[in-house]
Amino acid sequence: MQQQQPTAVPLIETPAPASGDSVPVVPLRHPVRNAIAVVIVILAASAAWNVATNQRYHWDVVVSFLFSPQILTGAALTLMLTVVSMTVGIGLGTVLAIMRLSTNPILHTLSRAYIWFFRGTPLLVQLIFWYNIAALYPVIALGLPFGGPSLVIGSANVLISPLGAALLGLALNEAAYMAEIIRSGINSVDKGQYDAARALGMNRAKLMTRVVLPQAMRVVLPPTGNQVISMLKGTSLVSVLAISDLLYSAQIIYSNNYQTIPLLIVASLWYLLMTTVLSYFQTKLERRYGRGFDTATRRVLRPKRRKA
Amino acid sequence: MSTVMVEAQGVRKNYGAIEILKGIDMRIEQGTVTCLIGPSGSGKTTFLRCINHLEKINAGRLYVDQQLVGYTERNGKLYEKKESQTAKSRLTAGMVFQRFNLFPHMTVMENVIEAPVHVLGRPKKDVIAEAQVLLDRVGLGDRGHSYPQDLSGGQQQRIAIARALAMKPKLMLFDEPTSALDPENVGEVLEVMKDLAAEGMTMVVVTHELAFAKQVADQVVFMDLGVVVETGPPSEVLDAPQHERTKAFLSKVLT
Protein backbone atom coordinates (compact mmCIF):
# COMPACT_ATOMS: atom_id res chain seq x y z
CA MET A 1 0.00 0.00 0.00
CA GLN A 2 1.25 3.40 -0.89
CA GLN A 3 1.88 5.65 2.08
CA GLN A 4 0.38 9.13 2.05
CA GLN A 5 2.72 11.94 1.14
CA PRO A 6 1.41 15.05 2.86
CA THR A 7 4.28 17.39 2.09
CA ALA A 8 4.59 19.29 -1.13
CA VAL A 9 8.35 18.81 -1.12
CA PRO A 10 9.25 15.78 -3.26
CA LEU A 11 10.86 12.84 -1.47
CA ILE A 12 12.91 12.01 -4.53
CA GLU A 13 15.86 14.29 -4.65
CA THR A 14 16.93 13.76 -8.23
CA PRO A 15 17.37 17.04 -10.09
CA ALA A 16 15.18 17.78 -13.06
CA PRO A 17 16.84 16.03 -15.96
CA ALA A 18 16.60 18.58 -18.75
CA SER A 19 17.59 21.94 -17.38
CA GLY A 20 20.04 20.80 -14.73
CA ASP A 21 18.95 23.47 -12.24
CA SER A 22 17.12 22.53 -9.03
CA VAL A 23 13.45 22.74 -10.00
CA PRO A 24 11.43 20.69 -7.50
CA VAL A 25 9.90 17.50 -8.93
CA VAL A 26 6.30 16.72 -7.93
CA PRO A 27 5.64 12.97 -8.29
CA LEU A 28 2.47 11.84 -10.06
CA ARG A 29 -0.44 11.37 -7.62
CA HIS A 30 -2.87 8.44 -7.83
CA PRO A 31 -6.03 9.50 -5.93
CA VAL A 32 -8.37 6.92 -7.53
CA ARG A 33 -5.90 4.10 -7.06
CA ASN A 34 -5.42 5.02 -3.42
CA ALA A 35 -9.18 5.21 -2.81
CA ILE A 36 -9.73 1.76 -4.34
CA ALA A 37 -6.92 0.38 -2.23
CA VAL A 38 -8.51 1.72 0.94
CA VAL A 39 -11.87 0.11 0.04
CA ILE A 40 -10.21 -3.23 -0.66
CA VAL A 41 -8.31 -3.16 2.63
CA ILE A 42 -11.50 -2.43 4.55
CA LEU A 43 -13.33 -5.28 2.79
CA ALA A 44 -10.47 -7.71 3.43
CA ALA A 45 -10.25 -6.72 7.09
CA SER A 46 -13.99 -7.22 7.61
CA ALA A 47 -13.81 -10.63 5.92
CA ALA A 48 -10.89 -11.63 8.15
CA TRP A 49 -12.73 -10.40 11.24
CA ASN A 50 -15.77 -12.42 10.21
CA VAL A 51 -13.74 -15.61 9.72
CA ALA A 52 -12.04 -15.11 13.07
CA THR A 53 -15.24 -14.47 15.05
CA ASN A 54 -17.68 -16.84 13.30
CA GLN A 55 -18.30 -19.54 15.93
CA ARG A 56 -19.20 -22.12 13.29
CA TYR A 57 -15.59 -22.28 12.11
CA HIS A 58 -14.79 -23.95 15.43
CA TRP A 59 -11.29 -22.58 15.71
CA ASP A 60 -10.96 -24.32 19.07
CA VAL A 61 -11.36 -27.67 17.26
CA VAL A 62 -8.84 -26.55 14.62
CA VAL A 63 -6.31 -25.76 17.32
CA SER A 64 -6.93 -28.97 19.22
CA PHE A 65 -6.34 -31.14 16.12
CA LEU A 66 -3.57 -29.07 14.52
CA PHE A 67 -0.82 -31.10 16.18
CA SER A 68 -2.69 -34.35 16.76
CA PRO A 69 -0.43 -37.38 16.09
CA GLN A 70 -2.74 -38.70 13.37
CA ILE A 71 -2.56 -35.42 11.43
CA LEU A 72 1.21 -35.17 11.89
CA THR A 73 1.73 -38.74 10.63
CA GLY A 74 -0.53 -37.96 7.68
CA ALA A 75 1.44 -34.81 6.87
CA ALA A 76 4.71 -36.75 7.09
CA LEU A 77 3.36 -39.41 4.71
CA THR A 78 2.19 -36.74 2.26
CA LEU A 79 5.64 -35.17 2.35
CA MET A 80 7.27 -38.58 1.85
CA LEU A 81 5.01 -39.40 -1.11
CA THR A 82 5.85 -36.01 -2.66
CA VAL A 83 9.61 -36.30 -2.18
CA VAL A 84 9.88 -39.91 -3.39
CA SER A 85 7.61 -39.56 -6.41
CA MET A 86 9.19 -36.22 -7.43
CA THR A 87 12.70 -37.68 -7.12
CA VAL A 88 11.81 -40.72 -9.20
CA GLY A 89 9.79 -38.55 -11.56
CA ILE A 90 12.67 -36.12 -12.15
CA GLY A 91 15.19 -38.94 -12.62
CA LEU A 92 13.02 -40.88 -15.05
CA GLY A 93 11.90 -37.63 -16.70
CA THR A 94 15.54 -36.68 -17.40
CA VAL A 95 16.16 -40.05 -19.02
CA LEU A 96 12.96 -39.70 -21.08
CA ALA A 97 13.92 -36.17 -22.15
CA ILE A 98 17.37 -37.29 -23.31
CA MET A 99 15.76 -40.27 -25.11
CA ARG A 100 13.28 -37.95 -26.79
CA LEU A 101 16.12 -35.73 -28.07
CA SER A 102 18.15 -38.73 -29.20
CA THR A 103 18.80 -39.36 -32.89
CA ASN A 104 18.03 -43.04 -32.32
CA PRO A 105 14.48 -43.42 -33.72
CA ILE A 106 13.56 -46.30 -31.37
CA LEU A 107 14.51 -44.39 -28.20
CA HIS A 108 12.80 -41.27 -29.53
CA THR A 109 9.55 -43.09 -30.31
CA LEU A 110 9.54 -45.00 -27.02
CA SER A 111 9.85 -41.76 -25.08
CA ARG A 112 7.11 -40.10 -27.12
CA ALA A 113 4.79 -43.07 -26.58
CA TYR A 114 5.42 -43.03 -22.83
CA ILE A 115 4.68 -39.32 -22.55
CA TRP A 116 1.62 -39.68 -24.77
CA PHE A 117 0.18 -42.45 -22.60
CA PHE A 118 0.89 -41.09 -19.13
CA ARG A 119 -0.13 -37.53 -19.92
CA GLY A 120 -3.20 -38.71 -21.80
CA THR A 121 -4.86 -40.70 -19.03
CA PRO A 122 -6.13 -39.30 -15.70
CA LEU A 123 -3.83 -39.70 -12.71
CA LEU A 124 -6.74 -41.01 -10.64
CA VAL A 125 -7.33 -43.80 -13.17
CA GLN A 126 -3.60 -44.65 -13.17
CA LEU A 127 -3.58 -44.85 -9.36
CA ILE A 128 -6.59 -47.18 -9.24
CA PHE A 129 -5.05 -49.20 -12.07
CA TRP A 130 -1.81 -49.80 -10.13
CA TYR A 131 -3.86 -50.58 -7.03
CA ASN A 132 -5.63 -53.32 -8.97
CA ILE A 133 -2.60 -54.56 -10.91
CA ALA A 134 -2.95 -58.01 -9.29
CA ALA A 135 -6.14 -58.53 -11.30
CA LEU A 136 -4.02 -58.48 -14.48
CA TYR A 137 -0.80 -59.98 -13.17
CA PRO A 138 -1.41 -62.03 -10.02
CA VAL A 139 2.20 -63.26 -9.99
CA ILE A 140 5.29 -61.16 -10.73
CA ALA A 141 8.20 -63.05 -12.22
CA LEU A 142 11.46 -62.45 -14.08
CA GLY A 143 11.68 -64.55 -17.21
CA LEU A 144 12.50 -64.91 -20.89
CA PRO A 145 10.00 -63.43 -23.34
CA PHE A 146 7.29 -65.38 -25.22
CA GLY A 147 6.62 -67.85 -22.40
CA GLY A 148 10.19 -68.99 -21.72
CA PRO A 149 11.38 -70.16 -18.32
CA SER A 150 10.91 -67.65 -15.53
CA LEU A 151 11.81 -66.95 -11.94
CA VAL A 152 8.84 -66.19 -9.71
CA ILE A 153 9.43 -63.23 -7.42
CA GLY A 154 6.13 -63.18 -5.61
CA SER A 155 2.48 -62.33 -5.52
CA ALA A 156 1.56 -58.94 -6.96
CA ASN A 157 -0.72 -58.23 -4.04
CA VAL A 158 2.19 -58.61 -1.63
CA LEU A 159 4.81 -56.83 -3.75
CA ILE A 160 2.68 -53.87 -4.77
CA SER A 161 1.11 -52.64 -1.54
CA PRO A 162 -1.33 -49.74 -1.64
CA LEU A 163 1.59 -47.45 -0.81
CA GLY A 164 3.66 -49.02 -3.60
CA ALA A 165 0.79 -48.53 -6.02
CA ALA A 166 0.50 -44.89 -4.97
CA LEU A 167 4.23 -44.27 -5.46
CA LEU A 168 4.24 -46.04 -8.83
CA GLY A 169 1.22 -44.10 -10.03
CA LEU A 170 2.47 -40.71 -8.90
CA ALA A 171 6.10 -41.19 -10.03
CA LEU A 172 5.38 -42.65 -13.46
CA ASN A 173 2.83 -39.95 -14.16
CA GLU A 174 5.17 -37.21 -12.96
CA ALA A 175 8.00 -38.51 -15.16
CA ALA A 176 5.93 -37.79 -18.27
CA TYR A 177 5.43 -34.15 -17.30
CA MET A 178 9.01 -33.68 -16.09
CA ALA A 179 10.31 -35.14 -19.37
CA GLU A 180 8.66 -32.34 -21.32
CA ILE A 181 9.87 -29.68 -18.88
CA ILE A 182 13.45 -30.95 -19.00
CA ARG A 183 13.33 -31.27 -22.78
CA SER A 184 12.38 -27.61 -23.09
CA GLY A 185 15.22 -26.76 -20.71
CA ILE A 186 17.77 -28.71 -22.74
CA ASN A 187 16.51 -27.09 -25.94
CA SER A 188 17.00 -23.65 -24.41
CA VAL A 189 20.77 -24.13 -24.15
CA ASP A 190 22.70 -22.38 -26.94
CA LYS A 191 24.07 -24.75 -29.59
CA GLY A 192 27.45 -23.02 -29.32
CA GLN A 193 27.78 -24.56 -25.86
CA TYR A 194 27.78 -28.00 -27.46
CA ASP A 195 30.52 -26.94 -29.89
CA ALA A 196 32.63 -25.49 -27.11
CA ALA A 197 32.23 -28.54 -24.88
CA ARG A 198 33.04 -30.94 -27.73
CA ALA A 199 36.04 -28.89 -28.81
CA LEU A 200 37.37 -29.27 -25.26
CA GLY A 201 37.21 -33.04 -25.68
CA MET A 202 34.09 -33.76 -23.61
CA ASN A 203 32.16 -36.92 -24.38
CA ARG A 204 28.36 -36.90 -24.45
CA ALA A 205 27.94 -37.73 -20.77
CA LYS A 206 30.31 -34.95 -19.63
CA LEU A 207 28.75 -32.51 -22.05
CA MET A 208 25.30 -33.15 -20.61
CA THR A 209 26.19 -33.26 -16.91
CA ARG A 210 28.77 -30.46 -16.82
CA VAL A 211 27.55 -28.01 -19.46
CA VAL A 212 24.02 -28.56 -20.76
CA LEU A 213 21.97 -29.72 -17.75
CA PRO A 214 23.28 -27.08 -15.30
CA GLN A 215 22.27 -24.39 -17.80
CA ALA A 216 18.95 -26.10 -18.51
CA MET A 217 18.22 -25.97 -14.76
CA ARG A 218 17.55 -22.25 -14.98
CA VAL A 219 14.67 -22.85 -17.39
CA VAL A 220 13.56 -26.11 -15.76
CA LEU A 221 13.28 -24.86 -12.16
CA PRO A 222 10.21 -22.57 -12.23
CA PRO A 223 7.89 -25.12 -13.88
CA THR A 224 9.39 -27.86 -11.68
CA GLY A 225 8.48 -25.80 -8.62
CA ASN A 226 4.93 -25.76 -9.95
CA GLN A 227 5.05 -29.52 -10.38
CA VAL A 228 6.30 -30.09 -6.82
CA ILE A 229 3.49 -28.00 -5.42
CA SER A 230 0.81 -29.64 -7.51
CA MET A 231 2.32 -33.00 -6.59
CA LEU A 232 2.11 -32.16 -2.88
CA LYS A 233 -1.57 -31.44 -3.27
CA GLY A 234 -2.06 -34.17 -5.86
CA THR A 235 -0.98 -36.77 -3.33
CA SER A 236 -4.37 -36.21 -1.71
CA LEU A 237 -5.72 -38.35 -4.60
CA VAL A 238 -4.15 -41.40 -2.94
CA SER A 239 -6.80 -41.19 -0.24
CA VAL A 240 -8.89 -43.27 -2.67
CA LEU A 241 -6.36 -46.09 -2.13
CA ALA A 242 -7.04 -45.90 1.64
CA ILE A 243 -3.55 -44.57 2.33
CA SER A 244 -3.52 -42.41 5.44
CA ASP A 245 -2.00 -39.28 3.94
CA LEU A 246 -2.81 -35.85 5.31
CA LEU A 247 -6.26 -35.54 3.73
CA TYR A 248 -7.28 -39.13 4.48
CA SER A 249 -6.20 -38.74 8.14
CA ALA A 250 -8.40 -35.65 8.42
CA GLN A 251 -11.27 -37.51 6.77
CA ILE A 252 -10.97 -40.39 9.25
CA ILE A 253 -11.16 -37.96 12.16
CA TYR A 254 -14.15 -35.99 10.90
CA SER A 255 -16.05 -39.13 9.99
CA ASN A 256 -15.94 -39.87 13.74
CA ASN A 257 -16.55 -36.44 15.26
CA TYR A 258 -18.47 -34.80 12.36
CA GLN A 259 -16.24 -31.68 12.59
CA THR A 260 -15.77 -31.63 8.80
CA ILE A 261 -14.90 -27.96 8.24
CA PRO A 262 -12.39 -27.56 11.11
CA LEU A 263 -10.49 -30.68 10.05
CA LEU A 264 -10.38 -29.60 6.43
CA ILE A 265 -8.96 -26.30 7.73
CA VAL A 266 -6.34 -28.26 9.69
CA ALA A 267 -5.35 -30.19 6.56
CA SER A 268 -5.27 -26.99 4.46
CA LEU A 269 -3.07 -25.21 6.99
CA TRP A 270 -0.52 -28.05 6.76
CA TYR A 271 -0.68 -28.08 2.95
CA LEU A 272 -0.13 -24.30 3.00
CA LEU A 273 2.83 -24.58 5.36
CA MET A 274 4.46 -27.28 3.24
CA THR A 275 3.98 -25.43 -0.05
CA THR A 276 5.39 -22.28 1.57
CA VAL A 277 8.52 -24.10 2.69
CA LEU A 278 8.92 -25.73 -0.73
CA SER A 279 8.53 -22.36 -2.50
CA TYR A 280 11.27 -20.96 -0.30
CA PHE A 281 13.66 -23.72 -1.44
CA GLN A 282 12.61 -23.11 -5.04
CA THR A 283 13.63 -19.45 -4.77
CA LYS A 284 16.98 -20.45 -3.30
CA LEU A 285 17.62 -22.99 -6.06
CA GLU A 286 16.61 -20.53 -8.75
CA ARG A 287 19.15 -18.07 -7.44
CA ARG A 288 21.81 -20.77 -7.34
CA TYR A 289 21.28 -21.80 -10.96
CA GLY A 290 20.73 -18.24 -12.16
CA ARG A 291 24.40 -17.46 -11.47
CA GLY A 292 26.08 -15.93 -14.46
CA PHE A 293 22.75 -15.16 -16.15
CA ASP A 294 20.70 -12.68 -14.16
CA THR A 295 23.27 -10.03 -13.48
CA ALA A 296 20.75 -7.43 -12.48
CA THR A 297 18.97 -9.70 -10.00
CA ARG A 298 22.27 -10.86 -8.58
CA ARG A 299 23.42 -7.31 -8.07
CA VAL A 300 20.27 -6.38 -6.19
CA LEU A 301 19.82 -9.55 -4.18
CA ARG A 302 23.38 -10.51 -3.39
CA PRO A 303 25.38 -7.28 -3.11
CA LYS A 304 27.93 -8.90 -0.78
CA ARG A 305 29.06 -11.34 -3.41
CA ARG A 306 29.49 -8.57 -5.90
CA LYS A 307 32.07 -6.82 -3.78
CA ALA A 308 34.55 -9.67 -4.31
CA MET B 1 59.35 -26.60 -39.97
CA SER B 2 58.85 -29.65 -42.09
CA THR B 3 56.30 -31.56 -40.00
CA VAL B 4 52.82 -31.33 -41.48
CA MET B 5 50.14 -30.55 -38.90
CA VAL B 6 47.09 -30.56 -41.16
CA GLU B 7 46.83 -32.23 -44.53
CA ALA B 8 43.63 -32.24 -46.56
CA GLN B 9 43.24 -34.34 -49.71
CA GLY B 10 40.07 -33.79 -51.72
CA VAL B 11 37.93 -33.11 -48.64
CA ARG B 12 34.24 -32.94 -49.45
CA LYS B 13 31.32 -32.06 -47.22
CA ASN B 14 27.66 -31.81 -48.05
CA TYR B 15 24.43 -31.25 -46.20
CA GLY B 16 21.97 -33.30 -48.20
CA ALA B 17 22.12 -32.06 -51.75
CA ILE B 18 24.03 -28.90 -50.89
CA GLU B 19 27.75 -29.28 -51.32
CA ILE B 20 29.69 -27.04 -48.94
CA LEU B 21 33.22 -28.28 -49.60
CA LYS B 22 34.01 -29.46 -53.11
CA GLY B 23 37.39 -31.11 -52.76
CA ILE B 24 39.73 -29.14 -50.53
CA ASP B 25 43.50 -29.75 -50.71
CA MET B 26 45.62 -28.01 -48.11
CA ARG B 27 48.89 -28.43 -46.21
CA ILE B 28 49.55 -26.67 -42.95
CA GLU B 29 53.06 -26.98 -41.52
CA GLN B 30 53.75 -27.13 -37.84
CA GLY B 31 54.51 -23.76 -36.27
CA THR B 32 52.92 -21.70 -39.03
CA VAL B 33 49.93 -19.39 -39.14
CA THR B 34 47.39 -19.98 -41.89
CA CYS B 35 44.61 -17.49 -42.53
CA LEU B 36 41.51 -18.69 -44.36
CA ILE B 37 39.79 -15.82 -46.10
CA GLY B 38 36.87 -15.60 -48.48
CA PRO B 39 33.27 -14.46 -48.79
CA SER B 40 30.59 -15.92 -46.53
CA GLY B 41 29.35 -19.26 -47.74
CA SER B 42 32.77 -20.13 -49.09
CA GLY B 43 33.09 -23.07 -46.67
CA LYS B 44 36.02 -21.75 -44.63
CA THR B 45 34.26 -22.14 -41.28
CA THR B 46 32.98 -25.59 -42.26
CA PHE B 47 36.51 -26.66 -43.16
CA LEU B 48 37.81 -25.38 -39.83
CA ARG B 49 35.10 -27.36 -38.01
CA CYS B 50 36.09 -30.47 -40.00
CA ILE B 51 39.65 -30.17 -38.68
CA ASN B 52 38.26 -30.45 -35.15
CA HIS B 53 35.80 -33.25 -35.99
CA LEU B 54 32.84 -30.99 -35.30
CA GLU B 55 31.63 -31.86 -38.81
CA LYS B 56 31.96 -35.22 -40.53
CA ILE B 57 33.54 -35.22 -43.95
CA ASN B 58 31.82 -37.08 -46.76
CA ALA B 59 34.79 -37.81 -49.00
CA GLY B 60 38.54 -37.33 -49.17
CA ARG B 61 41.11 -37.63 -46.43
CA LEU B 62 41.89 -35.17 -43.69
CA TYR B 63 44.92 -35.77 -41.49
CA VAL B 64 45.52 -33.78 -38.32
CA ASP B 65 48.80 -34.48 -36.55
CA GLN B 66 49.22 -37.58 -38.77
CA GLN B 67 45.85 -38.96 -37.60
CA LEU B 68 42.98 -39.49 -40.00
CA VAL B 69 39.99 -37.38 -38.94
CA GLY B 70 36.77 -39.24 -38.15
CA TYR B 71 37.82 -42.64 -39.48
CA THR B 72 40.28 -45.45 -38.86
CA GLU B 73 41.86 -47.04 -41.93
CA ARG B 74 42.19 -50.81 -41.77
CA ASN B 75 42.43 -53.46 -44.50
CA GLY B 76 41.62 -50.94 -47.21
CA LYS B 77 38.43 -49.82 -45.49
CA LEU B 78 37.51 -46.73 -43.52
CA TYR B 79 35.82 -47.42 -40.20
CA GLU B 80 33.91 -44.59 -38.60
CA LYS B 81 35.37 -43.69 -35.21
CA LYS B 82 33.46 -44.11 -31.97
CA GLU B 83 32.23 -41.03 -30.17
CA SER B 84 34.78 -41.57 -27.38
CA GLN B 85 37.68 -41.86 -29.86
CA THR B 86 36.54 -38.70 -31.62
CA ALA B 87 36.40 -36.90 -28.28
CA LYS B 88 40.01 -37.92 -27.67
CA SER B 89 41.21 -36.80 -31.09
CA ARG B 90 39.69 -33.37 -30.49
CA LEU B 91 42.30 -32.82 -27.80
CA THR B 92 44.92 -32.17 -30.53
CA ALA B 93 43.36 -28.83 -31.39
CA GLY B 94 42.04 -25.97 -29.30
CA MET B 95 39.21 -23.96 -30.77
CA VAL B 96 38.03 -20.38 -30.40
CA PHE B 97 34.59 -19.43 -31.68
CA GLN B 98 33.08 -16.31 -33.17
CA ARG B 99 30.60 -15.99 -30.30
CA PHE B 100 33.10 -17.05 -27.57
CA ASN B 101 30.83 -19.83 -26.23
CA LEU B 102 32.13 -19.49 -22.71
CA PHE B 103 30.13 -21.50 -20.18
CA PRO B 104 27.87 -18.80 -18.68
CA HIS B 105 27.14 -20.71 -15.48
CA MET B 106 30.81 -20.89 -14.51
CA THR B 107 33.21 -18.20 -13.40
CA VAL B 108 36.16 -17.31 -15.61
CA MET B 109 38.46 -19.56 -13.58
CA GLU B 110 35.97 -22.44 -13.65
CA ASN B 111 35.73 -22.06 -17.43
CA VAL B 112 39.48 -22.37 -17.84
CA ILE B 113 39.98 -25.32 -15.49
CA GLU B 114 36.83 -27.24 -16.50
CA ALA B 115 38.29 -29.41 -19.25
CA PRO B 116 41.76 -30.05 -17.73
CA VAL B 117 40.11 -31.22 -14.51
CA HIS B 118 37.05 -33.05 -15.83
CA VAL B 119 38.30 -34.32 -19.19
CA LEU B 120 42.00 -34.95 -18.52
CA GLY B 121 41.41 -35.73 -14.83
CA ARG B 122 44.33 -33.61 -13.66
CA PRO B 123 44.60 -32.42 -10.03
CA LYS B 124 42.67 -29.20 -9.52
CA LYS B 125 45.47 -27.44 -7.63
CA ASP B 126 48.01 -27.75 -10.46
CA VAL B 127 45.44 -26.73 -13.05
CA ILE B 128 44.42 -23.61 -11.12
CA ALA B 129 48.06 -22.50 -10.90
CA GLU B 130 48.51 -22.98 -14.65
CA ALA B 131 45.19 -21.29 -15.40
CA GLN B 132 46.27 -18.25 -13.39
CA VAL B 133 49.40 -17.99 -15.55
CA LEU B 134 47.26 -18.21 -18.69
CA LEU B 135 44.83 -15.57 -17.42
CA ASP B 136 47.75 -13.26 -16.60
CA ARG B 137 49.08 -13.85 -20.08
CA VAL B 138 45.83 -12.71 -21.73
CA GLY B 139 45.80 -9.74 -19.33
CA LEU B 140 42.85 -10.86 -17.21
CA GLY B 141 44.60 -12.32 -14.18
CA ASP B 142 42.33 -10.39 -11.80
CA ARG B 143 39.02 -11.52 -13.35
CA GLY B 144 39.05 -15.17 -12.29
CA HIS B 145 35.97 -14.77 -10.08
CA SER B 146 33.87 -12.86 -12.61
CA TYR B 147 31.13 -14.43 -14.66
CA PRO B 148 31.46 -14.17 -18.46
CA GLN B 149 28.31 -12.06 -18.62
CA ASP B 150 30.07 -9.29 -16.70
CA LEU B 151 32.94 -9.02 -19.18
CA SER B 152 33.23 -7.22 -22.50
CA GLY B 153 33.31 -9.21 -25.73
CA GLY B 154 37.04 -8.71 -26.07
CA GLN B 155 37.66 -9.93 -22.55
CA GLN B 156 35.40 -12.95 -23.10
CA GLN B 157 37.27 -13.86 -26.26
CA ARG B 158 40.62 -13.64 -24.46
CA ILE B 159 39.21 -15.95 -21.76
CA ALA B 160 38.10 -18.32 -24.52
CA ILE B 161 41.66 -18.36 -25.85
CA ALA B 162 43.01 -19.07 -22.36
CA ARG B 163 40.45 -21.87 -21.94
CA ALA B 164 41.57 -23.50 -25.18
CA LEU B 165 45.27 -23.11 -24.28
CA ALA B 166 44.70 -24.77 -20.89
CA MET B 167 44.34 -28.09 -22.73
CA LYS B 168 47.87 -27.64 -24.18
CA PRO B 169 46.80 -28.16 -27.79
CA LYS B 170 49.26 -28.68 -30.65
CA LEU B 171 47.13 -26.57 -32.92
CA MET B 172 44.78 -23.62 -32.41
CA LEU B 173 41.73 -23.04 -34.58
CA PHE B 174 40.11 -19.61 -34.66
CA ASP B 175 36.68 -19.19 -36.23
CA GLU B 176 36.25 -15.47 -36.98
CA PRO B 177 37.45 -14.60 -33.48
CA THR B 178 36.91 -10.85 -33.86
CA SER B 179 33.74 -10.73 -35.98
CA ALA B 180 31.34 -10.48 -33.02
CA LEU B 181 33.35 -7.82 -31.21
CA ASP B 182 32.84 -4.10 -30.86
CA PRO B 183 35.50 -2.34 -32.96
CA GLU B 184 37.39 -1.07 -29.91
CA ASN B 185 37.79 -4.64 -28.61
CA VAL B 186 39.26 -6.16 -31.77
CA GLY B 187 42.81 -5.01 -31.13
CA GLU B 188 43.25 -6.65 -27.72
CA VAL B 189 42.21 -10.06 -29.09
CA LEU B 190 44.48 -9.76 -32.14
CA GLU B 191 47.36 -8.79 -29.80
CA VAL B 192 46.94 -12.05 -27.86
CA MET B 193 46.84 -14.00 -31.12
CA LYS B 194 50.00 -12.29 -32.39
CA ASP B 195 51.83 -13.22 -29.18
CA LEU B 196 50.67 -16.78 -29.59
CA ALA B 197 51.94 -16.89 -33.17
CA ALA B 198 55.26 -15.44 -32.09
CA GLU B 199 55.65 -18.30 -29.62
CA GLY B 200 55.43 -20.76 -32.49
CA MET B 201 51.89 -22.06 -32.05
CA THR B 202 50.41 -23.62 -35.17
CA MET B 203 47.33 -21.57 -35.95
CA VAL B 204 44.50 -21.76 -38.46
CA VAL B 205 42.48 -18.56 -38.49
CA VAL B 206 39.27 -17.88 -40.37
CA THR B 207 39.24 -14.10 -40.49
CA HIS B 208 38.23 -10.93 -42.23
CA GLU B 209 41.08 -9.01 -40.61
CA LEU B 210 43.29 -8.69 -43.67
CA ALA B 211 45.77 -6.44 -41.87
CA PHE B 212 46.27 -9.17 -39.29
CA ALA B 213 46.68 -11.77 -42.05
CA LYS B 214 49.26 -9.61 -43.79
CA GLN B 215 51.23 -9.11 -40.60
CA VAL B 216 51.09 -12.56 -39.02
CA ALA B 217 50.19 -15.20 -41.60
CA ASP B 218 52.76 -17.48 -43.20
CA GLN B 219 50.13 -18.73 -45.58
CA VAL B 220 46.89 -17.21 -46.81
CA VAL B 221 44.23 -19.42 -48.36
CA PHE B 222 41.47 -17.78 -50.34
CA MET B 223 38.35 -19.92 -50.58
CA ASP B 224 35.18 -19.36 -52.58
CA LEU B 225 32.11 -21.57 -53.14
CA GLY B 226 33.69 -24.60 -51.50
CA VAL B 227 37.01 -24.64 -53.32
CA VAL B 228 40.48 -23.28 -52.62
CA VAL B 229 41.03 -20.58 -55.21
CA GLU B 230 44.47 -19.40 -54.28
CA THR B 231 47.13 -20.28 -51.70
CA GLY B 232 50.39 -18.58 -50.88
CA PRO B 233 52.20 -16.14 -48.62
CA PRO B 234 50.30 -12.91 -47.92
CA SER B 235 52.64 -10.98 -50.19
CA GLU B 236 51.27 -13.00 -53.12
CA VAL B 237 47.63 -13.71 -52.28
CA LEU B 238 46.82 -10.37 -50.66
CA ASP B 239 49.16 -8.00 -52.48
CA ALA B 240 49.34 -9.59 -55.91
CA PRO B 241 46.38 -11.95 -56.37
CA GLN B 242 46.43 -14.04 -59.55
CA HIS B 243 42.78 -15.01 -59.78
CA GLU B 244 39.87 -12.79 -60.73
CA ARG B 245 37.75 -14.02 -57.83
CA THR B 246 40.46 -13.15 -55.31
CA LYS B 247 40.87 -9.72 -56.86
CA ALA B 248 37.11 -9.11 -56.80
CA PHE B 249 36.86 -10.16 -53.13
CA LEU B 250 39.83 -8.09 -52.02
CA SER B 251 38.63 -5.00 -53.86
CA LYS B 252 35.32 -5.27 -52.00
CA VAL B 253 36.85 -5.88 -48.59
CA LEU B 254 39.64 -3.32 -48.76
CA THR B 255 37.47 -0.35 -49.73
The answer to whether the CB atoms of A199 and B99 lie below 8 A apart is no
Pairing of strands B33-37, B219-224: parallel
Compute the count of residue pairs across chains A and B with CB atoms less than 8 Å apart: 80
Residue B22: which pLDDT band, with cuts at 50, 70 and 90?
very high
Q: Please state the φ and ψ torsions of residue A153, each to the nearest 5 degrees.
A: -95, -40
Q: Residues B217-254: pLDDT tens digits?
A: 999 999 999 999 999 999 999 999 999 999 999 998 87
The answer to whether the CB atoms of B114 and A198 lie below 8 A apart is no
The answer to whether the CB atoms of B104 and A293 lie below 8 A apart is yes
Which pTM does this prediction carry?
0.81
Residue A271 and residue A265: Cα distance in Å, rounded?
Answer: 10
DSSP B52-107: TTSS--SEEEEEETTEESSEEEETTEEEEPPHHHHHHHGGGEEEE-TT----TTS-
CA atoms within a 13 Å half-sphere pointing along the CA-CB vector of B246: 22
DSSP symbol at A294: -
Residue B195 and residue B10: Cα distance in Å, rounded?
Answer: 33
Does A103 contact chain B (CB < 8 Å)? no
Interface-testing mutation among A102, A104, A195, A200, with chain B (most B C-beta atoms within 10 A): A200
Residue B125 and residue A197: Cα distance in Å, rounded?
Answer: 22
Helix (H) or strand (E) holding B67: strand B67-68
Residue A95 and residue B216: Cα distance in Å, rounded?
Answer: 49
Q: Residues A82-96: pLDDT tens digits?
A: 999 999 999 999 999
Would you call A262 helix, strand, or coil by DSSP? helix
The answer to whether the CB atoms of B164 and A203 lie below 8 A apart is no
- Both ends of chain B: CA-CA distance in Å? 36
Of B53, B101, B150, the CB nearest to A193: B101
Of B101, B103, B149, the CB nearest to A295: B149
Residue B140 and residue A198: Cα distance in Å, rounded?
Answer: 25
pLDDT of amino acid A148: 73
Of A192, A200, A292, the CB nearest to B148: A292
pLDDT of amino acid A6: 47
The answer to whether the CB atoms of A293 and B164 lie below 8 A apart is no
Q: Residues B103-161: pLDDT tens digits?
A: 999 999 999 999 999 999 999 999 999 999 999 999 999 999 999 999 999 999 999 99
Length, in residues, of chain A: 308
On chain B, the residues whose CB falls within 8 A of the CB of A291 are 105, 147
Q: How far is A113 from chain B (nearest CA, A)?
A: 28
Of B99, B101, B105, the CB nearest to A291: B105
Q: A231 with A173: CB under 8 angstroms? A: no
Q: B107 with B146: CB under 8 angstroms? A: yes
Q: Please state the φ and ψ torsions of residue A25, each to the nearest 5 degrees.
A: -100, 125
Mean pLDDT over the full length of chain B: 93
Q: What are residue B74's DSSP bridge partners?
A: B77
Q: How far is B141 from chain A (nearest CA, A)?
A: 14
Residue B189 and residue B98: Cα distance in Å, rounded?
Answer: 12
- pLDDT means per 10 residues, chain A with 308 residues, are 46 52 86 95 95 89 92 94 95 95 94 96 92 83 76 75 90 96 95 95 93 93 93 89 90 92 94 94 89 62 46
